Amino acid sequence: MPRKRIPVAVVLFAGALTGSALCATTDSHTVAITLQEIAELACSGSPPALVLSNAGTTPGSPPAPVTDATTSLSWTSSVASGMTRKITASLDSDYPAGIVLKATLAKPAGSNGTSSGQKTLSDTAQDMFTGIAGEPCTGATITFEASLTTIVAPVASESKILTWTLTAEQ
């Protein structure tokens, strides 16, 4: 009976396939994630001019207050456990005596903080929203109200810069 000859190259190739299929190796990495404190705040724009006029004014009374609720505030806060932030508002300078600007910052859906209600704005920071822990919030409506406490000389336009600040609560 004749002998079959199997080429050596075929045997070696089959052995190489079998050997590599049985070998395996693994390695691993350690992946670290760091979250730093975040305190970001943004306004949706400026409200239109609040015009106090004689429209709707009763003789013997100051003009009716004028309101606007077309702007909003959004924020992102990340704080250490047990810590909270607040939002304050202040003007760069006070309005002339007799002219009053008030603001209310509404509580947006999903916020864990508390609105401080309507506050009279001045060059002294007013707490507008407190108890903010870790949260992203968008669209907190700002309602402005301009009024007079007494009749004053007409003012062509009196603009002030309103600064909102997201800061740590003490």
pLDDT in tens, the chain (170 residues): 566 665 554 444 444 555 555 678 999 999 999 988 889 999 998 899 999 887 767 788 888 899 999 999 999 999 988 999 999 999 999 999 999 999 999 999 989 999 999 999 999 999 999 999 999 999 999 999 999 988 888 888 889 999 999 999 97
Distances (CA, A) of 120 to 29, 101, 161, 169: 56, 6, 15, 20
Is residue 86 within 8 A of residue 68, CB to CB? The reply is no
pLDDT of 37-46, one tens digit each? 889 999 998 8
- What is the reported pLDDT for 23? 79
- What is the reported pLDDT for 152? 83
- What is the reported pLDDT for 58? 78
- Its pTM stands at 0.80
- What is the reported pLDDT for 113? 95
| 56 Cβ contact list (under 8 Å, min separation 6) | 63, 64
What are the domain boundaries of the chain?
38-168
